[in-house]
Amino acid sequence: MKCFQCSCRGVTIATVIAAALCLALSVQSKEEEFMPNQPDAIPTFLIIGIAKGGTTDLFVQLTAGIVNLDPDRPDPPFPIKPIKELAYLSRPGIDGIQLLPQKRQYMEYLQLLGHPCSGDTERSLLQECFVTNATKHYTLDATPMYVFSAVVPLYLRALSGSSKIIMMIREPVERTESLFRHFVLTAGRWLDRSIDDLATDFFKAISTEKGVVTALQRAADCSYGDVACLANSWRDILGFKLMNSQENKVFAAGLYRYALAVWRYHYFRPGRVLVVDSHVFFKRRVDAMEKIIRFMYGRPMLPSEETLAASGEVIRKIVVQPMPKTILSPPLRKQLSEFYEQHVMRGLFRMLSDMRDEGAWVYGFSGEPWNECPGFGEFNAAGKSKL
DSSP 48: E
Inter-residue contact 279 to 171 (CB < 8 Å): yes
- What are phi and psi for residue 166, nearest 5 degrees? -120, 130
Q: How far is CA 18 from CA 22, 117, 180, 350, in A?
A: 6, 51, 34, 10
- Say which DSSP state 343 is in: I
Q: Which of 177, 166, 259 is closest to 4 using CA atoms?
A: 177
Whole-angstrom CA distances from 320 to 185, 187, 281, 311, 371 are 9, 15, 19, 20, 27
The answer to whether 119 touches 113, Cβ cutoff 8 Å, is: no
Q: Which residues are 47's β-sheet partners? A: 142, 166
Strands 164-169 and 361-363: unpaired
The one-letter amino acid code at 1 reads M
Residue 154: count of CB within 10 angstroms of its CB:
16
Q: In which element (H, E) is residue 120 found? A: none
Q: Give me the sign of the Cα torsion angle 91, 114, 44, 62.
A: negative
Determine if residue 178 is labeled as part of a ligand binding site: yes
170 is annotated as contributing to ligand binding: yes
Q: State the Cα–Cα distance between residues 267 and 272, nearest whole angstrom.
A: 10
Residues in Cβ contact with 74 at an 8 Å cutoff, skipping those fewer than 6 apart: 297, 299
Whole-number Cα distances in Å, 121 to 8, 89, 141, 174: 54, 20, 22, 46
DSSP 8-class letter at 136: G
* Pair 337, 346: CB distance under 8 Å: no
Which residues sit in the known binding site? 170, 178
Which residues sit in the known binding site for 3'-phosphoadenylyl sulfate? 170, 178
